[in-house]
A and B are shown apart, each in its own frame.
Chain A
Amino acid sequence: MIKYIIKRLLLLIPVLLGVSIIIFAIMRVFSPDPAGIVLGQHATEEKMVEWRAANGLDQPVVTQYVEYMKGVFKGDFGTSYYSKKPVAKEIFSRFPATLELAFCAIIIASVFGMSLGVLSAVKKNSWIDNMSMVLSLVGVSMPIFWLGILLIIFFSGTLGWLPAQGRIETLLRPENVTGFYLIDSLIKGNMESFSSAVRHLVLPSIALAMYSMAIIARMTRSTMLETLSQDYIRTARAKGIVERKVIRKHALSNALIPIVTVIGIQLGSLMGGAVLTETVFAWPGIGKYTVEAIMKSDFPIVQGVVLLVAFIFVMMNLVVDIIYAFLDPRIKYS
């Protein structure tokens, strides 16, 4: 098992190399010259030349790439063209916000998605089934950002229940320990800032969760239907076990394997969804930051974020594969 994990971790290297090459090519070969954008319209040609030289952009692309990768291996991802701060610092100061949001979203998506899916499968063709399948159809069809907008219009505008923007009320921001406001406020025992953080989290995490929830619900329904028709379910029923236990112990434990795959994939795609959700809710995470960086041609930031996201994606796949081995005794890695 450990050998397998190491082998998989080594595979990370070519993937990250590939990702860095692709993103480098898009940014430095196809993108317009950032000097004009960073320095503004009124910059002199002289200033621009100077700026390019300072940021290594006067070198051939291959040299730029080699230099960049040298830095990466030393943990140096360059500095932002604007803030002049190290990329790693800029990203990691915003990363907890995104993680907190993504984490809440995946919990909402998994819990509700699986419950709806199981309920649908068990009560196939009932009104519950029809309702939840219509809901998941709408869920996969609605643009995330539009759902966010609707939630804001209704819950923040019409009802005025929940805040429309940001992570927390500025004055209530807890002292930074982990960067997760929910945890930090609890550590300090500050219930006021905890509830503010929760209230700010509700709408964006629902918006981000909806698509994944719908996918998980559909997947759970179809695998549960398949599992419930298996012979071993009949065996379990023939033992006289209560139906609830047949479903939980015998069916769900088998259906979980494909469901976990889908959840893993969704966790990866949440990173994409975060870009839009954070933009709608002015959530100060890396998604919103990346969009801004792309618009402003802040190359080092974009490169750093894409590498990080790809790293997370590959790691998630590995975690899913490891979870498999726990869920399914037939799978053995060597």
Chain B
Amino acid sequence: MLLEVKNVKTEFKMKKGMVKAVNDVSFQCEKGEILAIVGESGSGKSVTSLSIMGLLARNAKVTEGEILFKGENLLDKSASEMRAIRGNQISMIFQEPMTSLNPVLRIGDQLTESIILHMKLSKQEAMQRAVEMLELVGIPSPSQRVKDYPHQMSGGMRQRVMIAMALACNPELLIADEPTTALDVTIQAQILDIIYRLREKLGMAVLLITHDLGVVAEAADRVVVMYCGKVVEEAKVEELFEKPLHPYTMGLLASIPRADEDKEKLYMIKGMVPNPMNMPAGCAFSDRCEKCMSICKEQEPAIREKDGRKVRCHLYTNDLEVIH
């Protein structure tokens, strides 16, 4: 197993006390697998990824659990050990390609930085590698473009540069945090295609973080659905789309516009994500759930497993077995 996230809890220190952004989250990611983490903003999916990278804000901390990467707990690593892993074995791309590149440094300079650092190449060799990487992500005349500054490129091009930068040191895990959200639809498909293609070619695993189930359907092997800092469902992508178990997942799926169905109105999950300072007792989704039962308001459901699927919902209390 490449990555094992075990019962991780990440808390933010706010003026009014501690807020749990990630609450007892566990999932695993195999070598070469594309695992999608889906959820609305505030579900804790981005915080989970930053917890893995060790790039949490100063007021945030992983307070419980383990993050095992190739069997070693990343939370036990020192700052310099983490730096040796970051950008090398685990790398990350972000949502905003427009602001994620340093505006005053040339593309080539930004690309070679991690190559020189982690692969111990000379400047010329690193530049050569940078050009190769740009070619790999489909940037035309890459040997010219390394001299460009970010503002001379479009958003799609910049995201390609980000991908090239992230993959330059042959990472085993790529964390892609909403990599397509800020882009035009046509560009989105191209970027996803690049990620998918390079996964085949380079064999790295991808942790794809997104709110967009369309992206999940297109690229992922397996899906983890998060709600309010917790995993509510986990399944293979085909199974999830075929038969969602959790009412929240059902809602999410129902709210995707589809060409093959002639619906008058798009479905919307009623209500809003609860304030993390003021979570409902029982199931966090109970206030918005169409299948809410009296027990849901009183007792938080445990996560249960059956046939490689996991779900956290009282609807399945009897036919699934509890896991810990």
- Check if A232 sits within 8 Å of B151, measured CB to CB: no
Q: Return chain B residues, CB-CB under 8 Å to A46.
A: none
- Check if A236 sits within 8 Å of B102, measured CB to CB: yes
CA A88 to CA B117, docked complex, whole Å = 58
- Knowing A231-B96, A330-B149 are in contact, say whether A238-B103 is a contact too (CB < 8 A): no
- Check if B113 sits within 8 Å of A241, measured CB to CB: yes
Binds A, one of B19-27, B83-91, B296-304: B83-91
Q: Return chain A residues, CB-CB under 8 Å to B104.
A: 253-254, 327-329
Q: Return chain B residues, CB-CB under 8 Å to A330.
A: 103, 149, 151
CA A234 to CA B55, docked complex, whole Å = 8
- Check if A240 sits within 8 Å of B85, measured CB to CB: yes
Q: Which of A214-234 contact B (CB under 8 A)?
A: 230-232, 234
Q: Return chain B residues, CB-CB under 8 Å to A235.
A: 94, 100-102, 162, 165
- Check if A240 sits within 8 Å of B100, measured CB to CB: no
Interface band, chain B: 20 to 34
Q: Return chain B residues, CB-CB under 8 Å to A250.
A: 102, 105
Q: Return chain A residues, CB-CB under 8 Å to B86.
A: 237-240
B99 interface hit (Cβ, 8 Å): yes
- Check if B149 sits within 8 Å of A238, measured CB to CB: no
Which of B102, B105, B117 is close to A240, meaning CB atoms less than 8 Å apart?
A: B117
CA A234 to CA B57, docked complex, whole Å = 10
B263 CB to closest chain A CB (Å) equals 37
Q: Return chain B residues, CB-CB under 8 Å to A236.
A: 102, 113
- Check if A238 sits within 8 Å of B102, measured CB to CB: no
- Check if A242 sits within 8 Å of B83, measured CB to CB: yes
Residue in B closest to A236 when the chains form the complex, CB atoms: B102
Q: Return chain B residues, CB-CB under 8 Å to A329.
A: 103-104, 149, 151
A90 CB to closest chain B CB (Å) equals 45
Q: Which of B126-152 contact A (CB under 8 A)?
A: 149, 151
Q: Return chain B residues, CB-CB under 8 Å to A230.
A: 99
CA A328 to CA B103, docked complex, whole Å = 8
Q: Return chain A residues, CB-CB under 8 Å to B91.
A: 238-239
B10 interface hit (Cβ, 8 Å): no
B53 interface hit (Cβ, 8 Å): yes
Q: Which of B175-209 contact A (CB under 8 A)?
A: none
A277 CB to closest chain B CB (Å) equals 36
B114 interface hit (Cβ, 8 Å): yes
- Check if A240 sits within 8 Å of B88, measured CB to CB: yes
A232 CB to closest chain B CB (Å) equals 4
CA A254 to CA B151, docked complex, whole Å = 14
- Check if B99 sits within 8 Å of A231, measured CB to CB: yes
- Check if A241 sits within 8 Å of B94, measured CB to CB: no
Residue in A closest to B55 when the chains form the complex, CB atoms: A237
B47 CB to closest chain A CB (Å) equals 13
- Check if A241 sits within 8 Å of B117, measured CB to CB: yes
Q: Return chain B residues, CB-CB under 8 Å to A234.
A: 55, 94, 100
B29 interface hit (Cβ, 8 Å): no
Q: Return chain A residues, CB-CB under 8 Å to B157.
A: none
A131 CB to closest chain B CB (Å) equals 20
B179 CB to closest chain A CB (Å) equals 13
B288 interface hit (Cβ, 8 Å): no
- Check if B83 sits within 8 Å of A241, measured CB to CB: yes
Q: Return chain B residues, CB-CB under 8 Å to A254.
A: 102-104
- Check if B99 sits within 8 Å of A238, measured CB to CB: no
Q: Return chain B residues, CB-CB under 8 Å to A232.
A: 99-103
A332 CB to closest chain B CB (Å) equals 10
Beyond A237-B86, A250-B105, 18 additional contacts (C-beta under 8 Å) are A231-B100, A232-B100, A234-B55, A235-B102, A236-B102, A238-B53, A238-B166, A239-B165, A240-B82, A240-B86, A240-B87, A240-B114, A241-B114, A241-B117, A253-B102, A253-B104, A254-B103, A329-B104
Closest 10 CB pairs of A and B: A239-B87, A240-B86, A240-B87, A239-B114, A231-B99, A240-B83, A329-B149, A232-B102, A231-B100, A238-B92
Question: What would be 12 A-B contacts, judged by CB atoms less than 8 Å apart?
Answer: A230-B99, A231-B96, A234-B55, A237-B86, A238-B55, A239-B91, A240-B85, A241-B117, A254-B103, A328-B103, A329-B104, A330-B149
